[in-house]
Amino acid sequence: MEIKFNHVSFVIDAYTPLEKTIISDVSFEIKSPGIYSFIGRSNSGKTAIGDLINALIMPTCGKVKIGRFINDGRMIKNINKLRFQTGYVFKNPYDMFFNKTVKSEIEFGMKYFKYKLEKIDLRASDALKLVGLDDSYLNMNPQDLTLVDAKKVALACALVYNPNILILDEYTAGLNNNDKKELIRLLRLLKNKYNKTIILLSKDTNFCYQITDYVYLMNLTKLVAFGGRELLRDIDALNQIGVEVPKIVTFIDECKKKGRYIHDYTNILDLIKGVYRDVF
């Protein structure tokens, strides 16, 4: 499903003393399924990218194209059909919850979009399993969950109606290494088997380096660089926008400075094998 930003800006409280630019003159195009990472510090404009794709906000100027839908400041006809195709997990998952049980929360999207209601119980259970939770969570109050479990439930809510686009805003914050490994497995499954377009809004360069296909660097409301995963090996570019250089990249760079050439790896296990093969 194609996504295209054409000179998009978003300003709040325009023409007042409180005027603030959230994103400024952003243009890019996503044409095929894959994993796309928008990386930058807080207040760089990442979240606005997700909000504009899901039409939660309208651009002050410019145009956002999502498939056959256009978000250009005018009312979008059949906006629910757009949101049916764009699953969105907020930075704070508790902001998404308003039902008293996890089961009701997951089923809400199916009921709202009238999607496969004859299989609603089964799909709710399957959605939980997909994110690593079991049926014991179904009757829990989502507001009582730990942050990590709340994120997983929010992800299940987004996946249950099978959207073409999945947007995750700072999803890895608070996840441990095992949770991140499971997330990598799930995102690769969604991309490779189900041809999903996955958009990560994140400052977690270590996670994105392991999985992303394409990178967009955001800084002070602007899109300042974009390219393949190799962009996350550009230490100067990452330093300029104030995000962490992936630890693997730092290690390999230090080895190269000492005359020990190591191939570029994206995960620790491959790096360890490479060190033994290339160095020892």
Secondary structure letter of residue 266 according to DSSP = S
pLDDT tens per residue, range 203-243: 999 999 999 999 999 999 999 999 999 999 999 999 999 99
Are 128 and 138 within 8 A, CB to CB?
A: yes
**pLDDT, tens digit, for every residue of 123-173?**
999 999 999 999 999 999 999 999 999 999 999 999 998 999 999 999 999
CA atoms within 13 A on the CB side of 241: 31
Phi and psi angles of residue 28, each rounded to the nearest 5 degrees, phi first = -165, 170
Are the C-beta atoms of 174 and 148 separated by less than 8 Å?
yes
- Predicted confidence at residue 256, as pLDDT, reads 78
pLDDT of residue 257: 81
What lies within 8 Å, CB to CB, of 3 at 6+ separation is 29, 30, 53, 64, 65, 66, 67, 165, 197
pLDDT of residue 280: 56
Q: CA-to-CA distance for 208 and 203, rounded, in angstroms?
A: 9
pLDDT score, position 266:
74
Higher pLDDT, 248 or 268: 248
Q: How confident is the model at residue 273 (pLDDT cuts 50, 70, 90)?
A: low
Sign of the alpha-carbon torsion through 235, 27, 12, 75: negative
> Tens digit of pLDDT for each residue in 77-104?
889 999 999 999 999 999 999 999 999 9
DSSP class of residue 169 equals E
**Token match 């930058």: residue?**
40
Say what the pLDDT of residue 111 is.
87
In sequence order, the 6+-apart residues with CB closer than 8 A to the CB of 135 are 125, 128
Which residues lie below 8 Å from residue 218, measured CB to CB, with a gap of 6+?
38, 39, 40, 44, 45, 46, 49, 224, 241
Which residue in this structure is represented by tokens 């809400």? 108
Tell me the percentage of the chain whose pLDDT exceeds 70. 95
- Please list, in sequence order, all residues whose beta carbon lies within 8 angstroms of the beta carbon of residue 65, skipping any fewer than 6 positions away: 2, 3, 4, 6, 71
Q: How far apart are CA 26 and CA 141, in angstroms?
A: 40
Reported confidence tier of residue 260, pLDDT bands at 50, 70, 90: confident
Residue 190 clears pLDDT 70, i.e. is over it: yes
Q: What is the mean pLDDT of the chain?
A: 92
